[in-house]
Amino acid sequence: MNFLERVLSNYFLAWSQIFNYKDKTSRIPFWHFFILDGLIGAVVSILSDNNLANDPNDFYPIADGYDWSYLYYLYSIPSLLVFIALSIRRLRDIGKENLVLWAFVSFIPFYNLYIFAQPSSEK
């Protein structure tokens, strides 16, 4: 299995376990989802942002035909649910106790990168 197949496999595996809070997730599947979800979220955000495309001084707006703003919410809300489940499984894998507190801490920018980069626990 090449790299792209592994990334896509781990991405769809995370989506299939959207309500699984019991198991563990190792580092590689977590980062595969995290990076690919960030890229997809950026593309969806750019597509749904009509403020850049609909400049009032522009005579030929490029997004005049269709409103894509709902697309951002259609993707980001389920993606957040997947990320919460994945982060709780990752916190369980690195051996953190009190998962609710650590789940809130994991939303702190840059500190969450440090937390999720920890190796798996031997417990």
In a domain, 1, yes or no: no
In a domain, 122, yes or no: no
In a domain, 46, yes or no: yes
pTM of the model: 0.81
User: Mean pLDDT lowest for which of 13-17, 25-29, 59-63, 116-120?
Assistant: 59-63
HEC readout, 87-104: HHHHHHHCCCCCHHHHHH
d(C-alpha 78, C-alpha 95), whole Å: 26
pLDDT exceeds 70 at position 9 = yes
CA distances from 62 to 13, 45, 46, 48, 68 (A): 36, 16, 13, 12, 12
In a domain, 123, yes or no: no
In a domain, 38, yes or no: yes
In a domain, 66, yes or no: yes
